[in-house]
Chain A
Amino acid sequence: DVKVTQSSRYLVKRTGEKVFLECVQDMDHENMFWYRQDPGLGLRLIYFSYDVKMKEKGDIPEGYSVSREKKERFSLILESASTNQTSMYLCASTPGLYNEQFFGPGTRLTVL
């Protein structure tokens, strides 16, 4: 079974803090993704990576950066957290093209 894990289920941070969200997959998948999910807005792609050290912007990259130093790990960084970044953050991975995505359990981030 594919397993995608995320570093925290719940996280509370203060405005201006630097926040790291980590995602690890154990199935040697090529592609990894970060989404945020908000009521009424659905899943929105922040960044994705198709290889180590490679990244591409998704639909809403502003205020976020990512890092992929190892194939199994994809990190999302909020350089200076703001209250409008309060959301559910979901990591996903997929083995290649035209394949389904496997999701981690999600991190519910609250920025105060």
Chain B
Amino acid sequence: QKEVEQNSGPLSVPEGAIASLNCTYSDRGSQSFFWYRQYSGKSPELIMFIYSNGDKEDGRFTAQLNKASQYVSLLIRDSQPSDSATYLCAVNPYSSASKIIFGSGTRLSIRP
């Protein structure tokens, strides 16, 4: 089992709809959880981080964390074509606090 798993996609969502991206992780003691966006040919950029169970909202983005079920999700409301990118889920495992484990990413495509 991979430490951080994501559906590779592509996930195709119509413009204006809600895009839902999911991620599961294996280290139950993981402390911090991150969502990065990566455009083709560019480096990853942080869009959300979450430490506590529940929801965290920032503009059109909402991160949801459920530690008991070991999943973290990202919702993008009012999806725009500029949201088309690969989204990387990343987890700070308890076993190594200075490292971050990345999922392989979900490719999101917003169709006009």
Give the total number of A-B pairs whose CB atoms are below 8 A apart.
49
Secondary structure call for the B interface = loop
In the bound complex, what is the Cα–Cα distance between A43 and B97 (angstroms)?
18
> Which residues 57-99 of B sit at the A interface, judged by CB distance below 8 A?
88, 90, 92, 97-99
Q: Which of A40, A90, A94 contacts B43 (CB 8 A)?
A: A90
Known A-B contacts A98-B97, A101-B100; A106 and B34 likewise in contact (beta carbons under 8 Å): no
- Give the A interface residue count (CB, 8 A): 23
Closest A-chain residue to B104, C-beta based? Answer: A42
CA distance A42 to B4 in the complex (A): 11
Instruction: Choose one: B44, B88, B92, B102; the contact of A98 (CB below 8 Å).
Output: B92
Nearest residue in A to B2 (C-beta to C-beta)? A42
Question: B98, A97: Cβ atoms under 8 Å?
Answer: yes
Contact of A94 among B98, B103, B105 (CB under 8 A): B98
Known: A103-B43, A105-B43. A97 touches B104 (CB 8 A): no
Query: What is the size, in residues, of chain B's interface with A at 8 Å between Cβ atoms?
Result: 21
Kindly state the separation between the CA atoms of A102 and B45 in the bound complex, as whole angstroms.
7
Partner among B42, B46, B90, B97 whose Cβ is within 8 Å of the Cβ of A102? B46
Closest CB in chain B relative to A34 CB, distance in Å: 12
Most A Cβ at <10 Å: residue of B32, B49, B100, B103: B100
Chain B residues engaging chain A, CB cutoff 8 angstroms: 31-32, 34, 42-46, 49, 51, 88, 90, 92, 97-100, 102-105
